[in-house]
Every structure is written in C-alpha cells, then in structure tokens.
Structure 1
Amino acid sequence: MPFLTAIILAGFVGYGGAWYLGAMEGNFALLLFMATLVTGLYWLAERFIFLPRRRAAAQALQVQSDQRRAGLAAQGITQVDDGELSTARERVLAQPWWLDWTAGLFPVILVVFLLRSFVFEPFKIPSGSMIPTLLVGDLILVNKFTYGLKLPVINTRLTEGDAVQRGDVVVFRYPPQPSVDYIKRVVGLPGDEVAYLGKRLTINGQPVQTTAVSDFFDESTMEYFKQFDELLGVKNHRIMIDERRPGFVAGAFDFKYKDNCRYNVEGVVCKVPEGHYFVMGDNRDNSLDSRFWGFVPDRNLVGKAFFVWMNFGDLKRIGSFN
C-alpha cells in the first residue's frame, strides 16, 4: 500500500504541475472530485480494515503484557515497568504516513468539494473586462445554487432554481475553451434581439437607459474614461466607455449560431437562440465577450457572482455589487 499510495500522490502532483506549467489543460472540478473519491476510499479502508487491524494488534500486545505480569506475579514480582508497553501501543495505533496523506485529509477535502460544488465557489478577477463593477484582483464569491444545483464534473442539472435575469453577473465556462472560467454580465436572454450599435445597447428595439456620471479613473492605465449608469432590466450598474476606440467588432470568431448575428461598421445585432445568453463586459471597449465568440449555453453557467470577499490591495472593495 505505501508504494501504491506514493504512485497515486505522484499522479496528483504531476497533474497539478503540468497544469500549472501550461503543459496541459486542467480541470479543477475533476481534480477535486478524484481527490475526494480516492481519499474517501482510503478513509473507508482505514475505518473498516486498517484501524481494526491496528487495534487488534494493540490488544494482542496488552494480552501479552497481562500474561507476562501474571507470570511475574506468580514468581512474587509485582513491580513491572509498563513504559515499553505504552510506547509500543502508540506506535502500533499510529497512522502510517500513507494514511495520513489520504484518509486523514478526506474530511477536509469532502467539505471543500461539497461547498464548492453546491454552495459557493471563489473566483479571482483576472482582467479588466468588468471595470468599473469589478477590478483586477477582486476575490469574489459565486452562488452555485441560484440557477439550480448541478452535479459536478458532468454538470447534470438536479434542480431548476431561479431563471437568469438581464443584468446578472455570471461566471461560466468559456464556450471556445470550456476548461476556462469567464465572468460577464447577462445582456440578452433566449429570444431577445440584442443590438450594440454606435456604443449604444438596444434590446428588442428598446434602447437601454443610461445616465452619464463622473469619469472613472483607471489606476492600471492612469487614464480617465467615460462612465455611465445603465439600467438593464431592474439592475442598475455602471459601465465604462473608451471613446477613442471604434464601435465595430474586429476579429469575430466562427461560432455556433453565428448566422443569428449581423455585423456592420457600427457594431452587431444578434438574435439570442433558445437555451443561450448574450453576455458583455461592463468595460465595453475592453471585453472579449459574446460580440466576438457568440452565445453562452445554459449548461455552461457556473453560478451567479454576488460578493467581493477580499481585495488585498483595497479592503474597501469588500461587499456586494450589482
């Protein structure tokens, strides 16, 4: 067992190292599931096989000691040192290293797996596509049950949950590369016609209400940008516009249902297919979103982002957001 356990642990380390070095695409949900499964099997083996064996061995030591004490007592010797027995029992009952690193970790890994799969998942904002709502370095929580519970890894839906609303900030598996998580704001629901022309958003022929507010100072670029309050459904949030950039979409990918979109020099108009969503970043001129790579399938949704739990560079960022 020690040799087999060493091979298994080396496999996990190798997988993580190859993922970290970019030699392969990793899947953290799968890695966590496999870790839970493997450590769970070791935990069961420890509880029902290995621990009873060690206890039986310790009991055998006790029986031997009792027999020895009885023999010595028959010879009139009553003062017997039990120190060696206590040390031997401790050594026999102690978990070997290969169980410490498997069965011993199972409760912690199980809790992390359940919380991450069905309750909340942490996510770090890697880019500026959601400025001014979310900044680079924000550590956020994603609600995994709002849109219904899904089985991890295979993503089979268990419960229906609430319907996705316009204006929701969602984390989803990036359609061109599902191993990567993206975060954007839902702009179009199934059946909507979304137009983004001349940097103005229109849904089903109705312009989305925007109100100019004070300019946003982006510390990463040391520049000011136009900022607006946007009312998307019942969600009031802020967006940022770079007036120096053109409105047309340059370099759109080939994607499923691309025929639902019409591109021109002003921007794009798309009809959202059933079971899909049109998403955009709040940093409208610095966001790789549905304008470029298409629609987000419902099955790709991970959850609803709702809270910044930490930003080590600015503790004032902690709190909920729209």
Structure 2
Amino acid sequence: MDFDFSAILLGLTVLFGVVWGLDRLLFYKSRKAKAEAAGKEPHEPMAVDWARSLFPVVLVVLVLRSFVAEPFRIPSGSMMPTLDVGDFILVNKFSYGLRLPAFNNKFVSLGEPKRGDVVVFRFPGYLCEDGGKLVRSGDQSCADPHAPVPSQNWIKRVIGLPGDRVEMHGDQLIVNGEPVAADLVGPYEGDPKRAESRLMLEMGATLWNEHLPNGEGGVVNHLTARMPNYAVPPPLPNPHVPLVVPQGCYLAMGDNRYNSTDSRWWGCLPEQNLAGKAFLIWLSWTGSGVAFHRMGTVIH
C-alpha cells in the first residue's frame, strides 16, 4: 500500500496540537478551578493527556524528517551495485532547499542537484499519449493514460541537468556532445542465493567505473552494471524524451543500466518532485543477516 508518512506525521502533529491547545484555551482553567474547589488535584482527560505527551515527540520527528535527514529503504535492484536491496539510507533533506512536509513546496532554496548526485524523489508517473498530448500516468503500458500516479519515493542518479543535451545509445552515455568515459572493472560477483544478484550473474553482468562530469568542473566516479543479454532499454532521446533537458527538470537513471525504469521511460524528473540527496548507508539487511561491511558507506 502506498502512503505518505510525512503527511501522516503532519496530520498527527496538527491533531495533537489542536487538542492540547483547545484544552488549554477553553477547558483547563475551569477544570483546575473545580478541582481546587473540591480540594483535589486537577486531572486531564485521557485524550488531552495523550495529545500533550505526544505532540512534542511527533513534532520533533516531523521537523527532523522534513528538514534534516530522512531514512529510506532500497526496495529494488535498479541502483546496484551502488545500492543493494535491503540497504537503509539517509537522505539529506536540505541539500536542495527546505520544503513543506507533505506538500513538498520549496520555501527556502539552498542549492540544485549536480550531475552524479543520487537523489530521492516522488515518482512523477509514466509519460503516455492522450488525445495527442503527453500526460502522466501510473500505468507503464499506457493502456490507461488516466491511471493515478502512485505516491512512491524512488531513487536514481542525476545524469542530465536543465539545458543539457543528453544521448544514450546502448551503453554509451553522451552529455553535451561528449561521450562519458567508463572503464571495465570486471564481471559482477554476488550472492546467487539472492534473486537480484542471481539475475545479474545469469545475465553475465559486468561492472564499469563511470566518470560522469558533475557540471562544475569535477567528475563523479561511480560503478554501473551492464547486462545487454537481459533487456534493451529505450535510447535517449526518444519520442517521449527530447534531446535537450527542459528547464525545471532533470534526467535520472539507475546505475543498473539494463534493469532500471528511469527517465528513459518516464522522461524528466520535475524539480518540485525532489525529496533530497542520498548520502549514507546506515544499515544493510541481506535477508539472512546484516551486511556490516556496507554500514557507514558514503554514497557517491
């Protein structure tokens, strides 16, 4: 089931705050006066007691998750080998500005994504044609272009900034006319007992060290996986994705290049959908135990 935990926290904060505040404004003094007249200690109703106790706790959690750092769990293998299924990561919520919880509207701008950033975002939906125009749909097949887009958090790597000319032909990524260099590291080695690793082993996946210019004179070196025997993703540009990245949008792709549903399918990532920048693996659960060697890994 899809749900927005930030919206739930915001709702609880408002509910507890209203219950506690209304009691203090309307009922507390009279209740206290009656108790004192009877020579007793004033007692709060259970609902008010719970609201008073939980309001500061929920408020602190909401503030930390909304403006400082938020935990996420990696659910799929689209970012392998950088991020594995079962990795628990922390996301910097102020890297690209402060946003209102639940609504995600930016009210303080603190920066913009760079090429190579690993970002968490609200899934924008698949691009589908409807009466000659493109719409966002939750149906990847586009059989129902009006299917609601699920409220989900996704994670990918930024490979195109607004105004960039981005091409992808097979394994070759080209940004602004310059091929992005990548060096072969060797065959992928993983645990065949895990479904995601077994698929990559069966498809003969290889690892590559990609050198992606970050747009500010530097280079982000990171691993990608290739397995051409598995699938042939759409090239860039394609009928739904233009050559030049529109303003207010980014192109994002998974590091598992042949097993990632990303901008090649659903086009640009709108800036307003950004949630933050992933920066740390704080826990990794393989399904049979904790992968201690991955804990504390900085995400590049």
TM-score, with structure 1 as normaliser: 0.74
Q: Please give the secondary structure, in 2, of the residue aligned with 1:166.
A: coil
Matched position secondary structure for 2:48: helix
- Which amino acid in 1 is paired with 2:299? F
Consecutive unaligned residues in structure 2, runs of 5 or more: 126-148, 214-218
Deviation at 1:279, TM superposition (A): 0.4
Asked if the contact 1:199–1:247 (Cα under 8 Å) also holds between the matched residues in 2, the reply is no
Distance 1:274 1:162 in 2: 15
Q: Indicate the percent of aligned positions where both proteins have the same amino acid.
A: 44
AA matched with 2:171: K
Change (3 A) 1:151 1:248: closer
1:201 is aligned with what amino acid?
Answer: L
Q: Is the 8 A contact 1:197 1:247 kept in 2?
A: no
Aligned residue number for residue 43 of structure 1 = 20
Q: Which residue of 1 aligns with 2:133?
A: none
SS in 1 for 2:162: coil
1:141 and 2:80 are equivalent in the alignment: no
Give the drift of 1:50: 4.0
The answer for the alignment partner of 2:186 in structure 1 is 214
Q: How far apart, in 1, do the equivalents of 2:35 and 2:262 lie?
A: 64
User: 1:260-308 CA deviation, whole Å, 9 max, x = no partner?
Assistant: 9336xxxx87321111101000001110000011110101111111111
Paired position in structure 1 for 2:268 = 295
More helix by proportion, 1 or 2?
A: 1
Per the TM alignment, residue 192 of structure 1 is displaced from its structure 2 partner at its CA by 1.0
Partner AA of 1:181 in structure 2: N
Matched, 1:321 2:299: yes
**Is 1:193 the equivalent of 2:193?**
no
> How much has 1:178 moved relative to structure 2?
5.6
Letter in 2 for 1:55: K
Q: In the alignment, which of 212, 218, 234 is matched to residue 249 of structure 1? A: 234
TM-superposed CA distance for 1:126, in Å, is 0.6
SS at match of 2:99: coil
Residue in structure 2 matched with residue 240 of structure 1 by the alignment:
225
Residues 159-178 of structure 1 mapped to structure 2, 5 A cutoff = 159-176=108-125, 177=149
Number of aligned residue pairs: 258
Cα distance in 1, alignment partners of residues 47 and 76 from structure 2: 40
1:160-211, Cα deviation, whole Å (9 max, x unpaired):
2112100000001111126111100000001111111121111111111111
2:211 corresponds to 1:231: yes
TM (norm. structure 2) is 0.79
Structure 2 equivalent of residue 257 of structure 1: none
